[in-house]
C-alpha cells in the first residue's frame, strides 16, 4: 500500500471528484438508497449480483423442488462448502478451512464450546476485551456456564486505556498474568472505534502462552484482507451482511485451522457430518474432515445465495484493491473532520495499519447528530456514548459523498439543528 493513502490531498470537492475518477467503480451495481449511505458496516445494500444469485436459486427451487439439493448449479447439498472455497482467499485460508454456516453468534457458541472441551494444556479461561461486541461475551459466558465454569472467574477481560482501543501490550500482559487462559478471542476490528487488531501478533502471543487464538472478524471481512492460515490462527467467525453486502440475516462464515479437523464440534448436527455418509442416517456422528464439521443444521440456501453474488463482485476487483480504496476513503474522512469539524474528535486510530473500514466521529451530542443527518439524507449510526459511526464503503461509496457528509455535519453544528431532536430512547440505532 502507498505510504500516503491520499497523495496530493486537498480538502476540496475538486479533489474528491478527482479521486472518484480514479480506481474501480462498482456504484452502478448497487441499489444504494438516495442520499449518502454510510452504514454498510451494519447492513450493506443490495447489488445486482446478489439479486441475480438469489433469483437463480428461487428459480431452481421453482423448477427443481427437492432435486435442487443434487441438480441445482451448484447443488445445494454442497453449497456451504462451495461458498467456503470461494471465501477462502478473502480470509487467507485453505479451501477446506472455510465454510458458511449458522449465524456469527451460533458460530461463537460452537467454536468456543469446542475449544473449551479440547482443554488446551488443561486451561479453561477465555481472554477477551472490554470493548468487544456484547454478543461475544454473552455466548462465551453461556458456554462457560454449561461446563460448570463460573464466567466471572473464567472470562478474563483486557481493559482499554482510553475507552476506544485495546493495546496489544495489554493483551500480552494479561496472557502472562493468567497462565490458565486456554483461548484468546479477539475482534479483527472493534465495532465502535474501528481499531484494526494485529492478528499475527496476537496469535503469536497466544501460542507462546500455550493458548489457542480465535477471532471475530464481523467488522473486517470483505474490507480488510486476512492471512488466517499463514498466521496460524486457530479459528474465526464472521458475518456477511456488513461489508460483504449479502443481505439482512445472511448466513455467517467460519474458519477452522486444518490442525483441528477431526475434533467433535460442541454443537454437533447432521449438516456437519461427513458428507459421503450423511444420508446413511447413522446414529453415530462422524464429523466432516473440514471446517464443514462446524455446520449444525441444513444450510439456509436462500440466506446464502446473495453471498454468491457478492463474491462474484469481489473476485472482479480483489480484496487488496478494496482495502486500498477503503483506506483512502477513511483517510479522506479523517482529514476532513480534522480540518472542518474541530468540535468533533476522531476515535479511530489514524495509522491506516490500525484501522478498519469505518470511522468513529465523536461528539457529546452524537445521537442527535445522527438523527439530524438521517433527516438530511445521510445514513450513519450511533453507538453509545458519543460515536457517530461513518462507513464510506469501498464498494459503492464515493469521495464526493464523504465531502458532502462532512459538509452536512458542519451545517448542522453551525445551525444547532441537532438540538431539535430528543436524546436516545432505545430501539435499533
Ligand atoms: C463483532 C460482531 N460480532 C457479532 C455480531 C452479530 O452476530 P449475529 O450475526 O449472530 O447477530 C456483530 C453484529 O453487529 C458484531 O459487530
Is the pLDDT reported for residue 144 higher than 70? yes
CA contacts within 13 A on the Cβ side of 226: 36
If you measure from the C-alpha of residue 320 to the centroid of ligand 1, how many angstroms do you get, rounded to a whole number? 24
Confidence of residue 123 (pLDDT cuts 50, 70, 90): confident
Q: What is the pLDDT of residues 306-355, one digit of tens each?
A: 999 999 999 999 999 999 999 999 999 999 999 999 999 999 999 999 99
> In this model, does residue 6 exceed pLDDT 60?
yes
Average pLDDT score over the chain: 96
| Residues labelled catalytic | 133, 216, 241-242, 389
Q: Answer for the pair 382, 424: CB distance below 8 angstroms, yes or no.
A: yes
The per-residue pLDDT for 426 is 66
Out of 104, 214, 247, 360, give the residue to mutate to test ligand 1, the one with the largest number of ligand atoms within 8 Å of its CB: 104
Query: Domain coordinates of the chain in residue numbers?
Result: 13-31+319-420, 52-314
Please give the distance, rounded to the nearest whole angstrom, from the Cα atom of residue 398 to the centre of ligand 1: 26
Beta strands in 364-421 (DSSP E): 378-379, 381-383, 387-390
User: 230-285: per-residue pLDDT in tens?
Assistant: 999 999 999 999 999 999 999 999 999 999 999 999 999 999 999 999 999 999 99
pLDDT band, residue 120 (cuts 50/70/90): confident
pLDDT of residue 425: 73
**Looking at residue 428, what is its pLDDT?**
63
Give the rounded percent of residues in the chain with a pLDDT score beyond 70.
99
- pTM metric for this prediction: 0.96
Check residue 427 and give its pLDDT: 67
Q: Kindly give the distance from the C-alpha atom of residue 134 to the centroid of ligand 1, in angstroms, as a whole number.
A: 8
CA of 314 to the centre of ligand 1 (A): 22
What are the grid coordinates assigned to 289, written together?
A: 474432515
The beta strands (E) that lie in 247-386 are given as 253-256, 345-346, 359-362, 378-379, 381-383
- Residue 429 binned pLDDT confidence (cut-offs 50, 70, 90): low
Give the CATH number of domain 13-31+319-420: 3.90.1150.10
Crossing angle (nearest 10°) for helices 399-415 and 13-20: 150
Residues 44-100: tens digit of each pLDDT: 999 999 999 999 999 999 999 999 999 999 999 999 999 999 999 999 999 999 999
pLDDT at 122: 83
- Edge-to-edge strands, sheet with 98-100: 98-100, 253-256, 235-238, 212-216, 181-187, 125-129, 155-158
365-377 pLDDT tens trace? 999 999 999 999 9
Q: Quick check: 210 pLDDT over 70? A: yes
Q: In terms of pLDDT, which residue wins out, 25 or 332? A: 332
- At 25 the pLDDT is 85
Q: What is the pLDDT of residue 226?
A: 98
**Stretch 103-111: mean pLDDT, rounded?**
98
Q: Which CATH architecture has domain 52-314?
A: 3-Layer(aba) Sandwich (3.40)
Q: Which atom of ligand 1 is nearest to the CA of 107?
A: 10
List the beta bridge partners of residue 186.
215
Mutate to test the pocket of ligand 1, among 239, 249, 357 (most ligand atoms within 8 A of CB): 239
User: Which of 191, 250, 389 is the pocket-test mutation for ligand 1 (most atoms within 8 Å of CB)?
Assistant: 191
- Is any ligand 1 atom within 6 A of the Cβ of residue 105? yes
Look at residues 244, 310, 303, 305 and name the one whose alpha carbon lies nearest to residue 55: 305
Q: Mean pLDDT across the stretch 139-160? A: 97
Amino acid at each position: 500500500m502507498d505510504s500516503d493513502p491520499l497523495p496530493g490531498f486537498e480538502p476540496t470537492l475538486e479533489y474528491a471528484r478527482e479521486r472518484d475518477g480514479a480506481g474501480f467503480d462498482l456504484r452502478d451495481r448497487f441499489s444504494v438508497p438516495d442520499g449518502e449511505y454510510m452504514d454498510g458496516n451494519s447492513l450493506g445494500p443490495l447489488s445486482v449480483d446478489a439479486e441475480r444469485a438469489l433469483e437463480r436459486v428461487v428459480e431452481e427451487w421453482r423448477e427443481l423442488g427437492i432435486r435442487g439439493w443434487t441438480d441445482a448449479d451448484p447443488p445445494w447439498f454442497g453449497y456451504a462448502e462451495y461458498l467456503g472455497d470461494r471465501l477462502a482467499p478473502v480470509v487467507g485460508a485453505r479451501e477446506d478451512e472455510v465454510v458458511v454456516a449458522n449465524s456469527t453468534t451460533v458460530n461463537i457458541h460452537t467454536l468456543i464450546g469446542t475449544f473449551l472441551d479440547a482443554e488446551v494444556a488443561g486451561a479453561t479461561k477465555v481472554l477477551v476485551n472490554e470493548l468487544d461486541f456484547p454478543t461475544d461475551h454473552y455466548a462465551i459466558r453461556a458456554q462457560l456456564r454449561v461446563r460448570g465454569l463460573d464466567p466471572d472467574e473464567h472470562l478474563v477481560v483486557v481493559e482499554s486505556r482510553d475507552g476506544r482501543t485495546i493495546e496489544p501490550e495489554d493483551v500480552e500482559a494479561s496472557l502472562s498474568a493468567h497462565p490458565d487462559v486456554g483461548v484468546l478471542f479477539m475482534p479483527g476490528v472493534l465495532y465502535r472505534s474501528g481499531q484494526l487488531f494485529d492478528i499475527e501478533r496476537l496469535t503469536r502471543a497466544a501460542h507462546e502462552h500455550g493458548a489457542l487464538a480465535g477471532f471475530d472478524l464481523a467488522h473486517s471481512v470483505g474490507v480488510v484482507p486476512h492471512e488466517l492460515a499463514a498466521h496460524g490462527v486457530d479459528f474465526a467467525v464472521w458475518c456477511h451482511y456488513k461489508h460483504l453486502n449479502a443481505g439482512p440475516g445472511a448466513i455467517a462464515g467460519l474458519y477452522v485451522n486444518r490442525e483441528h479437523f477431526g475434533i467433535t464440534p460442541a454443537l454437533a448436527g447432521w449438516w456437519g457430518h461427513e458428507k459421503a455418509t450423511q444420508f446413511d442416517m447413522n446414529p453415530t456422528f462422524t464429523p466432516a474432515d473440514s471446517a464443514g464439521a462446524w455446520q449444525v443444521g441444513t444450510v439456509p440456501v436462500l440466506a446464502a445465495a446473495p453471498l454468491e453474488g457478492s463474491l462474484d463482485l469481489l473476485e472482479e476487483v480483489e480484496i487488496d484493491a478494496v482495502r486500498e480504496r477503503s483506506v483512502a476513503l477513511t483517510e479522506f474522512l479523517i482529514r476532513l473532520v480534522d480540518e472542518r469539524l474541530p468540535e468533533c474528535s476522531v476515535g479511530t486510530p489514524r495509522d491506516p495499519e490500525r484501522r478498519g473500514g469505518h470511522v468513529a466521529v465523536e461528539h457529546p451530542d452524537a445521537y442527535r447528530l445522527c438523527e439530524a443527518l438521517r433527516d438530511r439524507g445521510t445514513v450513519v449510526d450511533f453507538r453509545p456514548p458519543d460515536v457517530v459511526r461513518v462507513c464510506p464503503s469501498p464498494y459503492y461509496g464515493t469521495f464526493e459523498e464523504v465531502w458532502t457528509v462532512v459538509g452536512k455535519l458542519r451545517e448542522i453544528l453551525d445551525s444547532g439543528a441537532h438540538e431539535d431532536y430528543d436524546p436516545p430512547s432505545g430501539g435499533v440505532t
